[in-house]
Each structure stands twice: as structure tokens, then as C-alpha cells.
Amino acid sequence: MTTPPLRLFFALPCPPDLASRVASWRDALGTFGRPVAAENLHITLVFLGSQPRGRLAELKALAEEIVAPAFALTFDRLERWHGGLLHLASSRPPDALIALEHSLRERLLSQGFDVEDRRFHPHLTLARHCRALPGGLAVAPSFSWQVESFALYVSENHQGGTRYKALSRHHLRG
Ligand code: 2AM
């Protein structure tokens, strides 16, 4: 019997206390779109899509080999992309974040993973199918934290919703 593939991606987990602050702030903006559950908030580094379970060990090992420093990350802009994706973005994404995404992508490509060649726009998705950018923000957002790790996630359908589960965590050091 063959096991079904997994929908995988590498991401920065949003720390739980920050995730609940972000979700409360978003919810106070009003009713819009389909909100992302607080426990699912993350910043995608590289999306892998459907992958055979047999490659999991290889992915974890590849991530473990990455030597990259921890860094501070600040999201200070609320934006909406075509298609209705409401998200937080950073006006100055740190070089260490760009370098982390780059080195992960290079390793994946060199091991034959078919990752899309698209520009990295770090963002924290807040809601999907959002028709308009909520107006009237009294204060610009400012959410910061020290990023100490990244993780390999699986996206699972769970009781009608989507759940992102970390399969392995990789500490930043260097
Ligand atoms: P999004 O938040 O910008 O939609 C799990 O689905 C994560 O992978 C989400 O953060 C999602 O990004 C991202 N993702 C989903 N499909 C993707 C694709 N085809 N290319 C890049 N990222 C994708």
C-alpha cells in the first residue's frame, strides 16, 4: 500500500504569545475575509508542496545543516494582495532572514527538490478572501520578536479546517 504524500513547507513559527496578540489586533479591525487561526500564524520561508513521506528524513537533515544567526524581525505594515490575502509585512526585512531563505532554497534545489523560483516576500498571513484593506488604522502595527528557530511544517485537513503542524524545529546559531 502506498502512503499519501504530505503537503510541506518551511516557515518561521510565530511565538504563541505574539500570535494571540496579533490575532486580537486583527480581530479588532473588524469583520473581513477568512481569518487564519492564531495557532496557524507563521511566515513561510519555502513552500515545498506535495512531497513523498520518504523524503522527510532528508528534509530534516538538510535543515539541520544550515548555519545561520538568530535575528530580530518587525512587522510594521498591513497590506493586501490581489486575491484578497491580508498580511503583515516588514518595511525592512532583515538581511539574516533573506539569507536564511536563500540558503534553504539553494540546498533544496541542489538536492533535487522542485521549489518555485519566485521572489521572497516575507509576510504573515492574517486572513484570506479579504475584499478590502481595513481602513482607519489609528496606530500602525508594530509586532517584533527575536527569531531563534525555523520549522518544517505539514499542512493537514482537520475537522473541516487546516492545521499546520511542526514536524521538526531547527535552531538558528552562527
Ligand atoms: P500564504 O500564506 O501566502 O498563502 C501553507 O499553505 C503556507 O504555504 C502558507 O503560508 C502559504 O502562503 C504558503 N503557500 C501555499 N501555497 C503556496 C505556493 N503555491 N507557493 C508559495 N507558497 C505557498
ipTM of the complex: 0.92
Nearest atom, ligand 1, residue 36 CA: 2
φ, ψ (nearest 5 deg) of residue 18: -65, -40
pLDDT band at 158 (very low <50, low <70, confident <90, very high): confident
- Per-residue cell: 114: 522542485
**20 Cβ inside 6 Å of ligand 1:** no
For the record, the C-alpha cell of 128 comes out as 484570506
- Of 44, 11, 12, 41, nearest to 24 by C-alpha is 41
The model's pTM: 0.95
Angle at 103 between CA 100 and CA 107, to 5 degrees: 140
How far is residue 34's CA from residue 141's CA, in Å, rounded to a whole number? 20
pLDDT on residue 109? 96
Measuring from atom 10 of ligand 1, which residue has the nearest CA? 44
Distance 10 CA to ligand 1 centre (A): 10
CA angle 40, 172, 165 (to 5 degrees): 25
- Distance separating alpha carbons of residues 144 and 146, to the nearest angstrom: 7
Query: In the structure, what pLDDT confidence band is assigned to residue 10 with cuts at 50, 70 and 90?
Result: very high
Establish whether residue 120 lines the binding site of ligand 1, counting it when its CB lies within 6 angstroms of any ligand atom: no
Catalytically active residues are: 42, 123
- For 106-119, what is each residue's pLDDT tens digit? 999 999 999 988 89
Tell me which H or E stretch contains 103. helix 95-110
Q: Give the distance (Å) from ligand 1 centre to CA of residue 72.
A: 23
Name the residue of 10, 44, 105 to mutate for ligand 1: max ligand atoms within 8 A of Cβ.
44
- The residue whose CA is least distant from atom 20 of ligand 1 is 47
